[in-house]
Structure 1
Amino acid sequence: MSQIVPICENSSFRRAYARGKSFVSPVLVTYVMKNRTRRIRVGITTSKKTGNAVKRNRSRRIIREAARQLVPQLSGGYDLIFVARAKTPYVKSTDIVRDMKKHLTEAGVLK
């Protein structure tokens, strides 16, 4: 199993936005980029377009939980950035898991 490390620095987010491959659905945008480590690095972004603080925090929580569920199936060495969209706080976590699984399969990150 790979180890998950949070992405905190702005430069890593910007690099993933510029050079990473993006996958879009109505509730989630995923950026995937290879990194030089064997670890999985995960970053989550929610903008004010998502809603007030309660909705942004709910979006982050359900995205974090979906990512946690998929960890055992992921191959290491990738940076994953998940961006919440306006519909994200209104959907169930199972919908997020489904979209996330689809994005990561397309990217070739899911085993």
Structure 2
Amino acid sequence: MRKIVTLKKNYEFSRVFNKGTFYVGRHITVYVLPNKFSSNRIGISVSKKAGKAVVRNKKKRLIRESYRHYEEFIKNGFDIVIAARGDQTVPKYGALLKEFKYLLKKLQVFDQEKYDCLKEL
């Protein structure tokens, strides 16, 4: 398993929020902005409105795992920020995966051909 490159600084998140394109789903919002690197960088944002620390960390773990699931099918060269919505409930993993894939397709960063090729095997 390889390490995920993350966004850490506030200005990196702000740049993606202000200049990037985004789509809103039921559980998450995905922001995407092209970067100058040949790899993707990911940032996860969960506000305090989402619940106490245990709930926020659970949401972060689910979001991180859904990114890992589709990481090889996402086109390279993007900064991606995934923001959890403010409801107090924790979504099911399957629902989150389905929504994340849908939002990536809407943002045109999901490589459907690569996904279909590996799905047939």
TM class, shorter-chain normalised? over 0.9
Residue in 1 that maps onto 2:95: 95
Runs (5+) with no aligned partner, structure 1: none
Q: For 1:43 and 1:106, locate their aligned partners in 2 and report how far apart those are by CA, in whole Å.
A: 19
Separation of aligned partners in 2, 1:4 and 1:66: 12
Which TM-score applies when normalising by structure 2? 0.85
- Which structure dedicates a bigger proportion of its chain to strand? 1
The residue that corresponds to 2:84 in the other structure is 84
Contact kept? 1:28, 1:88, Cα under 8 Å: no
Cα deviation 1:43-89 (Å, max 9, x = unaligned): 00011100000000000000000000001111100000000113474
Bigger drift between 86-95 and 36-45 goes to 86-95
What is the RMSD of the two structures over their aligned residues, measured on CA atoms?
1.6
Structure exhibiting the larger radius of gyration computed from Cα positions = 2
- Deviation (angstroms), 1:91: 1.2
Q: Which runs of 4+ in 1 moved over 6 A?
A: none
TM-score for the superposition, normalised by structure 1: 0.93
- Percent of counterpart pairs with the same letter? 31
The number of equivalent residue pairs is: 110
5+ residue gaps, structure 2, are 112-121
